[in-house]
Structure 1
Amino acid sequence: QAAGLKFDAESTIAQATGRTWNPIALISDFMTQRELEPITTIDQSALDAQLDGVATAIDQPAVEPTLIITQRKPVLTPGIDGFALDQDATGDAMKVAFMQKREPISAVLVDVPPAVSAPAALKAKTLARTAIANPVNVTAGDITATINSADVADALTFTQEGGELVPVLDGAILHKSIAADLEAVETPGRDATFKIVRRQPVVVPSQVGSGIADDELAAQVATAIGNEPPNRNVTVSMGTRDPKLTTEQAEQLGITQKISSFTQQFPYAAYRVQNIGEAARRVNGTLLMPGETFSMNDTIKERTVANGYTVGFVIGEGGVFAEELGGGVSAATTTMWTAAFFAGMERTFTQAHSIYISRYQAGLEATVAWGSFDMKFTNNTPNAVFITTKMTDTSMNATFWGTPTYDEIKAEFGPKYNVRPYPTIYDKTKKCLGQGGMEGFSIDVDRVFYKDGAEVNRETITTNYRSSPKVICGKNPDKEPNKPIKPGKPGANPSGSPSPAPSGDQAAPAPQS
């Protein structure tokens, strides 16, 4: 009945008696054996509502292909078909089955392909190869400068537009790559920004310059990247370079006071200081306009040696620690997300560590993996937000400045549940890193918003941590009882970290390296 289907007994019986009230005919009808087709009534709006609910539960959207430039090579991740409930066909099946034996009804599903087809994605990858294979020559006035292929690669990203992956060039990166060559013809300009003076944000005035506009440079270079040499030459005009953000505009952004601040502690390690420090440096000074989304990966860039990162410990396959470039940046990611959490920023996407790391607050932490997943939040307030960071050898701080939307934002932590034991594994390889085990569990964290002393909103974030194995370096004594493990080999660190202790950061999947 909830689906709007009902047995109409009166109409079904009426089939037997017809529409006559003749007594002889009525007696004859009741004395005669007949099979009657049951008649149902359908409330189509109720049925549609039920089908909408089913569709919400089972529909799986298609995954669009992605194309990134990693280590100056194009890497294409193919799209994946999704599926959706065929509501008309499933509704028809429900109607047919309603008056029959009660058995499960098979939902009718249809494939939902990605908007970007496989041929279109391959076409974009071919363009990417051509784009980053050779330099582009730029003529501005009397100066000709060369943007080398590596800088083209650093400036190039791809975004989905309709059924295509479209190249996008960052004009600021291109401009920076030839800035030294353009010094003779350019006068530097400057957007307005902010600095913190005596714990208060103040505007740093804008400055008008002259030279090449970043947008024009990007647009002109875009016309050449699909060409082979010698057809990779462009000309850009010289002119006034107006700031994108003027002093007057900056003064109207509502950046007046501290909204939130969070400091994440971590054990000292040289690689952490370098990697977390590099991430903090890149985040510092971020201006997030109303409605704008912050991306950790886009801001701190790919974790490569060229971008200032070094090798550190990460969480590898199966929860076993390993070494990768950029180990430690998840401490920066957690710092940023926690500060954003208490600033009231909208959670766009966060991914917790796959296993629990004891120095982080369970359920209120985040990690990133280049080319796999990101940490994103959106400034859903009417005012801009200015972000500053500070580093020490054992901590990172992030502070958000703007205009508070709420009087207070609190985090309420529920108990751990679905606690799962950890396994023990033995590793005989020379690269073994012993580590203590860590139980898996689930936890709920509520973000509670207060205004005028009353709760006005509440959001729940559920995090599921997998168990991480206890890793013992050596042979399994149960399988080889006559060959005991040498003393000192087991990794019995109760914190769940190997020795030497790692960062506990999420490993970038192998294809990203």
Structure 2
Amino acid sequence: MLHTVDGETPDRPPAGRYRPRLVAGVAAGAAAAVFGLLCLVGLLAGGDDIPSGTRVLGLDIGGLSRAEAQAKLERNSDRLVPETLRIRMGDQPGELGTAAAGITVDADETAAAAAQSGSGPLTVIGRLFSGGGGDVEPVIRVDGEKGRAALTALAESYDRKVREGSVSFHGGEAAAVQPRGGRQLDVDGALAELENSAPGRGSDPLPLPVRRVEPRVGAEEVDRAMAGFAAPAMSGPVTLTVPDGGEIAIEPAAVAGHLTMEPDASEKLTPRLDGRGLLGESEVAAAVREATDEAENARLDWDGAKVTVASEGSAGREITPRALSRAVLELLPEEGADARTGRVATRVVQPELTGENAGRLGIREQMSTFTVEFPPAPYRTQNVGQAAKLIDGSVVMPGGTWSFNDTVGERTEANGFVEGIMILDGKYTRATGGGVSAVATTVFNAAFFAGVGFEEYGAHSFYIERYPEGREATVAWGSLDLKFRNDSGNAIYVRAGATEDSVTISFLGTRKYDEIESVKGPRTNVQEPGSRKGDAAACEPQTPLEGFDVAVERIFKSGGREVDRETFTTTYTPRDSVTCD
């Protein structure tokens, strides 16, 4: 029955209007059924096997079960992972050992990936009509700890510190140091690259990330510094004039060891001169002493009952390291003798010790005195006398340290010393300054009986009969010093004098102890000497003497009783008999 709307009768649909839709639906359903059937047949036909034709970097694992594929991959791991991996760090090629870097193939995951690559519907159906699973990339694993260690080792040979452009000075000559960029392997980034890349994927090296550091001072600035300062600086000596004094000539070789050029805030190479180091050069120090007047301490004496003033002190003038550096730097860029001559500033220096302040400093009595006698010889008399002259008048303030090497200086001809005989490496030999150990031994004993502390000292290697056993000292420039510390509480004035066969050292101050006593123990661990022939080129004969150990007690007394004790232990090696043919 038809319903009407507003009294009208609707048109009847024509016959056959819904038939195309029905046909399309039936066709789609049939296709889906066929597709599902084909998938089922493909899966049943293939099972869990790797699709035929599946290859991993050329290794055929098609048609195998997953377990079989895994086993085959493990057996052929060397084929899948090369022995070395080609890499590139910036523009530098290289190689990385895969075993050391912990690079391996995960056979289980690779086999699983190969099986999954054939599990898609279209691929499953394709198996029924084709024979190929295709190429599968291996799953690569990298041991993080081994990989980082291998890359760190690789970085040690690849990394290069940046070299700034600069100028060096040596031996009176200037040399340009050209800049060079720095580079550094990014170990963290390189490890990530290894973990994300499969070795053997292609013939191209694996690029590893690097960091580059460019120098701040370039070649252009080096050239400017060489032409504008460095080359003229080493062109000849500079001469400093001292007001109301002499002249100081300083050679390029002396300047070179203390001159540098360093970049300033604007990256310009700027000269810097170590004035203190330059003043320490023996030739410069001697020239400065000649051209200036040193402050003279008052000279004190001991008349047997009290300290007397033999002569008053006087002010002097000195050149400070800063003044020397400034004066020399101003002249270095100039060329020609006249242009390289200029004034240097000096300052007035008052003496440390005067007749007026000697008493206030606590210099009231003779604390100790000691004399060493020696066989007279021209070299020994000269060297002992020169050392005594340099020591005489030394003032050591409370808490201060006195140094033999600092006071006497290097034993050179320029410093007033001549060649003589000394002990070196357990035998007598000839060297400039031979014989000064007699002065060192005398100072040691004066300090010993003054009761002050020692900071550094050393005995001779073998015993010398004219010195007290276990209570003697030697010195060597640059390696062994004799130092005592003034812990007496007052200033100490050192008097030194020498004759042709003796040297005497006295300490003036205020005694901290009433008496210092020395007690020597017996010789122990006695060793007999040997005999040998001396070197043909430079032989000094030796008489034999046994080696031994000895201990000396220093006993401090106040008020008639012992208040402290200190032990000095010395080991002497045997003195071999040496004959000279």
TM over 0.5: yes
The answer for the alignment partner of 2:369 in structure 1 is 261
Q: Provide the aligned length of Structure 1 versus Structure 2.
A: 329
Aligned to 1:221: 324
Given the superposition, is the C-alpha separation of residues 173 and 285 from structure 1 closer, same or farther in structure 2, using an over 3 Å criterion? farther
Cα 1:290/1:170, change in 2 over 3 Å: farther
Out of 348, 372, 381, which is 2:479 matched to? 372
1:177 maps to what in 2?
287
- 1:90 matched to which residue of 2? none
Deviation at 1:286, TM superposition (A): 1.0
Higher RCO by CA contacts (8 Å cutoff, separation 6 or greater):
1
Q: Quote the residue 1:359 is aligned against.
A: 466
Q: CA RMSD in A?
A: 3.8
Query: Larger deviation: 173-182 or 378-387?
Result: 173-182
Deviations 1:220-244 (A, max 9, x none): 1134667983367765456765445
One-letter amino acid of the structure 2 residue matched with residue 354 of structure 1: S
d(CA) in 2 for partners of 1:352 and 1:309? 22
8 A contact 1:412–1:447 mirrored in 2: yes
1:423 aligns with 2:530: yes
> Residue deviations 1:269-293, cap 9 Å, x none?
1111111111111111111111111
- Secondary structure, in 3 states, of the residue corresponding to 1:306? helix
Shift of residue 178, structure 1, vs aligned partner? 5.4
Contact 1:293 1:378 (C-alpha < 8 Å) held by counterparts: yes
Quick one: distance in 2 between partners of 1:362 and 1:132?
53
Alignment of 1:14-413 (within 5 A): 135-138=237-240, 145-149=247-251, 167=277, 169=279, 177=287, 190-196=295-301, 198-199=303-304, 200-203=306-309, 204-207=311-314, 213-214=317-318, 216=320, 218-223=321-326, 229-230=332-333, 235-237=343-345, 242-245=350-353, 247-317=355-425, 319-413=426-520
Deviation by residue 1:453-483 (Cα, 9 ceiling, x = unmatched): 1100111111111112112335xxxxxxxxx
Aligned amino acid, residue 193 of structure 1: A
SS at match of 1:370: coil
The Cα of 1:389 is off from its aligned counterpart by 1.6
**Contact 1:151 1:173 (C-alpha < 8 Å) held by counterparts:** no
Counterparts of 1:342 and 1:150, CA distance in 2: 48
The alpha-carbon distance between structure 1 residues 135 and 364, as it changes in their structure 2 partners (threshold 3 A), is: farther
1:429 is displaced (CA, Å) by 2.2
Q: Which amino acid aligns with 2:303?
A: R
Q: Does the Cα contact within 8 Å between 1:169 and 1:222 map onto a contact in 2? A: no
Shift of the alpha carbon at 1:445?
Answer: 0.8
Cα distance, 1:267–1:223 mapped onto 2, change above 3 Å = same
Evaluate the alpha carbon distance shift between residue 433 and residue 198 of structure 1 in structure 2; reply closer, same or farther with a 3 A threshold. closer
Pick the aligned partner of 1:442 from 526, 544, 549.
549
Residue 424 of structure 1: CA displacement? 1.6
Alpha-carbon distance between aligned partners in 1 of 2:366 and 2:558, rounded to the nearest angstrom: 17
**CA 1:471 to 1:441, structure 2 compared with 1: closer, same or farther past 3 Å?**
same
Q: Are the structure 2 counterparts of residues 437 and 168 from structure 1 closer, same or farther at C-alpha, using a change threshold of 3 Å?
A: same
**191 and 404 in structure 1: CA distance in 2 versus 1, 3 angstrom threshold:** same
Q: Distance in 2 between matches of 1:444 and 1:223?
A: 54
The alpha-carbon distance between structure 1 residues 149 and 132, as it changes in their structure 2 partners (threshold 3 A), is farther
CA deviation vs aligned residue, 1:482-501 (integer Å, no higher than 9, x gap): xxxxxxxxxxxxxxxxxxxx
**Contact residue 353 and residue 395 of structure 2 kept, 8 A:** no
Tell me if the contact between 2:529 and 2:545 (Cα under 8 Å) persists in the aligned partners. yes
Give the distance between the partners of 2:241 and 2:480, measured in 1 at CA: 39
Q: What is the alpha-carbon distance in structure 1 between the residues aligned to residue 361 and residue 550 of structure 2? A: 37
Measure, in 2, the Cα distance between the counterparts of 1:192 and 1:151. Answer: 34
Structure 2 runs not aligned, ≥5 long? 1-170, 173-231, 259-273, 335-339
Specify the structure having the higher radius of gyration (Cα). Answer: 2
Residue 179 to residue 151, structure 1, CA distance change in 2 (3 Å): farther
Q: Residue 431 of structure 1: CA displacement?
A: 3.9
Q: Which one of the candidate residues 548, 566, 577 is aligned to 1:459?
A: 566
Give the direction of change, closer, same or farther, for the CA distance of 1:397–1:224 in structure 2 (3 Å limit): same
Q: Which runs of 5+ in 1 are unaligned?
A: 1-71, 74-129, 157-163, 183-187, 475-513
1:221·1:234 contact (CA, 8 Å) conserved in 2? no
Q: 1:141 to 1:379 in 2, by over 3 A?
A: closer
- Deviation of the 1:145 alpha carbon: 3.5
Match of 1:499 in 2: none
One-letter code aligned to 2:322? A
Which AA in structure 1 matches 2:413? Answer: V
Contact 1:346 1:378 in 2 (8 A): yes
Verify the 8 A CA contact 1:294 1:378 in the aligned structure 2. Answer: yes
Equivalent position of 1:432 in the other structure: 539
Q: Partners of 2:252 and 2:501 in 1: how far apart?
A: 34
Residues in 2 aligned to 1:366 and 1:443: alpha-carbon distance in whole angstroms = 14
CA change 1:143–1:151 in 2 (3 A) is: farther
CA distance in structure 2 between the partners assigned to 1:442 and 1:284 by the alignment: 33
Q: Which amino acid aligns with 2:433?
A: G
1:366 positional shift: 0.1
Deviations 1:80-112 (A, max 9, x none): xxxxxxxxxxxxxxxxxxxxxxxxxxxxxxxxx
Cα separation, partners in 2 of 1:132 and 1:264, compared to 1, 3 Å: farther
TM-score, normalised relative to structure 2 = 0.50
| Gap change, CA 1:242 and 1:385, over 3 Å in 2 | closer
CA contact (8 A) 1:254 1:402 kept: yes
302-311 or 401-410: bigger deviation: 302-311
